[in-house]
Amino acid sequence: MQKLLKIITYPNDILKKKSQKISQEIIKSKEFQILCDDMAETMIKKDGIGLAAPQIGKNIRLAIINSKEGPLYIINPQIIKRSWSKEWGEEGCLSVPNVFGKVKRNSKITCVYADRNGEEKKISPKGLMARVFQHEIDHLDGILFIEKAKNIKTQNLRA
């Protein structure tokens, strides 16, 4: 049974720290696999498109992205190629609630990472998925979207 994890919100210092690489030994552990399941459950229940470990208080290089095929677990991700073309798009973040802003990101990237079984994978997302990958990898590097965003606005949820 998955449990909902507490989302760390800005200005908590853990969101500014660069995350530690995860060893194969840890990836294979039962505790890590449970963490993956709990993070996926939390991301989906909180209506997120992605969730990085620092957002739940863990200083490790793990992020989960909500793809059409289900949760995509990216461990120790590295962007190895970026398109020349960039595009602006509105972003928000579970760790910076009710705040949105326009961020300029590469429209296509190539990323290598380990999946939750520790197997090396390579993906070349474009458009929205490329944006989500870059946003989540920024989290692992201690960077929040609000540091890159223009036209930041707060959404008042009182109706």
- How many domains does one find in the chain? 1
CA dihedral 70, 73, 130, 20 (to 10 degrees): 160
Catalytic center residues:
136
Q: What's the pLDDT score for residue 116?
A: 97
pLDDT of residue 158 exceeding 80, the answer is: no
Q: Is residue 3 part of a domain?
A: no
pTM: 0.95
Per the structure, the complete domain to which residue 19 belongs is given by 13-154
Contact 143, 149 (CB under 8 A): no
Question: Is 139 part of a structural domain of the chain?
Answer: yes
Place 156 in a pLDDT band, splitting at 50, 70 and 90: confident
Q: What are the b/e assignments for 123-147, b being 16+ CB within 10 Å?
A: bebeeebbbbbbbbbbbbebbbbbe
| pLDDT tens profile 82-125 | 999 999 999 999 999 999 999 999 999 999 999 999 999 999 99
CATH code of 74's domain: 3.90.45.10
Does 4 reside within a domain? no
